[in-house]
């Protein structure tokens, strides 16, 4: 069995400080047995908040529920220090949850930069939730920062409203040595494009003494910037709403108490540590008059042995015989590397990391800025001389290509109009090639 101690992460990352990490190959031991497309699906764990928002007639109450949904979407990342597998180009994931009232499909639509798109809708046609995410990763010496570029849109169809926002930045600390821990920080601005109302949430960085660890605070404002409601809580725990005047009075008193503590506290060093700080309180202090909007569901007892997955995440990779006959070959449930890691076969997961997943599908390639014919990109695990005799030459034409890419003993070529019968007769292993 492999462990993280068998690998020197520093030997890989020491030349990458300040660089974007999407093109860096990481040891599979640092992964978790889910694709990034499945990680995106975890946004839908608290779909009940969308249904609740749709049921309200007051736009402020709808905004409160949408804000709670936006916070809950990142809650599953708490203590999830494993990296999801990078999706292959053209990889998909589909999920229907009758009990939660939604269906979702996602696809990897770009490889460099890596962009994942998703589309979900309510089974009762009450909402549409869609967007695309480009997780831009940077290494800063002792931490890795993930900035999820891309806009998320939620449409409440019964109210003809569209809400948009972007997720906060996620940072994993102690990459080289020490206990890994996660924080989310940055401003999230949720806009109701119909009414002009806006919710600005501040995901606070932990700070030197950890007082702000995991905290989220913000206000709902109308289009004239009048404060209608205050929101507060922790993205790892819960979110409350309260009257803005009451919240401001509490903040003013809390700030005064904090300054008094800071003046009386003696510190031996002013250098900021990268160790996870211990907050003053594990739970949120409830301001009188507050209303609970969302509380995280407890994780199952065996979560720590299952990559700190939630109950929702644990079933994302399930597949039965009936499902296997319905889902496409591009579905990430069928990836052998992810399945091997889920079964504890880390060595097997490493062996199949090369992109040889059996995908039988076509896609449209915009090679010259315009749409060209549908193509299949084929892997043939044979020698070059054999490959040249096996592969037919592409048809003549202004938009055809005869591009051959060498990769060890693989021969890869863009093939135009290759039918499945030829693939069945001649192809040993085929899949999407990732440059």
Residue 143: per-residue pLDDT? 76
Distance CA(260)–CA(209), nearest Å, equals 14
Residue spans of the domains in the chain: they are: 9-183+305-369
Q: Is the dihedral of CA 332, 333, 334, 339 positive or negative?
A: positive
What's the CATH fold of domain 9-183+305-369?
Answer: Porin (2.40.160)
Rounded mean pLDDT for each run of 10 residues along the chain, 435 residues in total = 49 55 63 92 96 96 97 88 87 95 95 90 95 82 80 96 93 76 90 96 82 90 94 94 93 70 49 53 81 93 87 91 88 90 69 39 31 34 37 40 36 38 36 31
- Sheet of 374-380: strands edge to edge? 363-364, 374-380, 410-416, 404-407
| Beta partners for residue 414, in sequence order | 377
According to the model, what pLDDT value does residue 11 have? 56
How confident is the model at residue 331, as a pLDDT?
A: 94
Q: Please give the angle made by the CA atoms of 268, 274 and 276, to the nearest 5 degrees.
A: 95
pLDDT for 36 equals: 92
Region for residue 184 given its phi and psi (left: phi exceeds 0; alpha: psi -120 to 50; beta: otherwise): beta
Going by their DSSP bridges, the two strands 83-85 and 31-35 should be labelled as parallel
Check residue 357 and give its pLDDT. Answer: 35
SS (H, E, C) 306-326: CCCCCHHHHCCCCCCHHHHCC
Name the pTM for this structure.
0.74
């Amino acid at each position: 069995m492999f462990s993280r101690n068998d690998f020197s992460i520093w030997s890989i990352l020491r030349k990458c400080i300040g660089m974007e990490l999407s093109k860096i190959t990481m040891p599979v031991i640092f992964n978790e047995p889910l694709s990034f497309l499945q990680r995106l699906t975890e946004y839908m764990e608290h779909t009940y908040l969308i249904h609740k928002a749709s049921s309200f007639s007051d736009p402020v109450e709808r905004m409160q529920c949408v804000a709670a949904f936006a916070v809950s979407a990142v809650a599953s990342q708490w203590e999830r220090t494993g990296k999801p597998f990078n999706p292959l180009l053209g990889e998909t994931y589909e999920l229907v949850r009758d009990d939660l009232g939604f269906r979702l499909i996602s696809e990897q639509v770009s490889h460099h930069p890596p962009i994942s798109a998703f589309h979900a809708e309510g089974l009762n046609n009450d909402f549409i939730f869609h967007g695309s995410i480009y997780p831009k990763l940077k290494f800063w010496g002792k931490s890795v920062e993930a900035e999820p570029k891309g806009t998320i849109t939620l449409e409440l169809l019964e109210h003809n409203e569209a809400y948009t926002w972007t997720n906060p930045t996620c940072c994993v600390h102690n990459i080289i040595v020490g206990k890994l821990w996660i924080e989310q920080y940055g401003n999230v601005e949720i806009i109701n494009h119909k009414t002009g109302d806006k919710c600005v949430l501040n995901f606070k960085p932990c700070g030197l003494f950890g007082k702000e660890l995991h905290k989220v605070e913000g206000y709902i404002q109308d289009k004239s910037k009048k404060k209608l409601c205050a929101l507060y809580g922790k993205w790892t725990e819960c979110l409350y709403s309260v009257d803005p005047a009451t919240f401001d009075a509490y903040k003013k008193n809390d700030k005064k108490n904090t300054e008094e503590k800071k003046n009386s506290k003696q510190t031996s060093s002013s250098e900021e540590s990268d160790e996870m700080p211990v907050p003053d309180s594990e739970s949120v202090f409830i301001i009188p008059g507050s209303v609970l909007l969302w509380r995280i569901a407890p994780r199952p007892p065996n979560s720590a042995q299952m990559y700190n997955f939630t109950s929702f995440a644990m079933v994302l990779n399930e597949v039965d015989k009936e499902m296997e006959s319905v889902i496409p070959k591009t579905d990430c449930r069928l990836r052998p590397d992810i399945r091997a890691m889920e079964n504890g076969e880390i060595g097997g997961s490493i062996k199949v990391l090369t992109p040889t997943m059996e995908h039988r599908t076509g896609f449209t390639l915009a090679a010259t800025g315009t749409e060209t014919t549908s193509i299949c990109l084929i892997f043939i695990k044979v020698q070059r001389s054999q490959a040249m005799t096996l592969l037919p030459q592409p048809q003549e034409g202004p938009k055809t290509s005869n591009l051959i890419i060498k990769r060890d003993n693989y021969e890869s070529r863009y093939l135009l109009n290759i039918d499945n019968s030829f693939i069945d007769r001649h192809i040993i292993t085929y899949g999407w090639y990732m440059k």
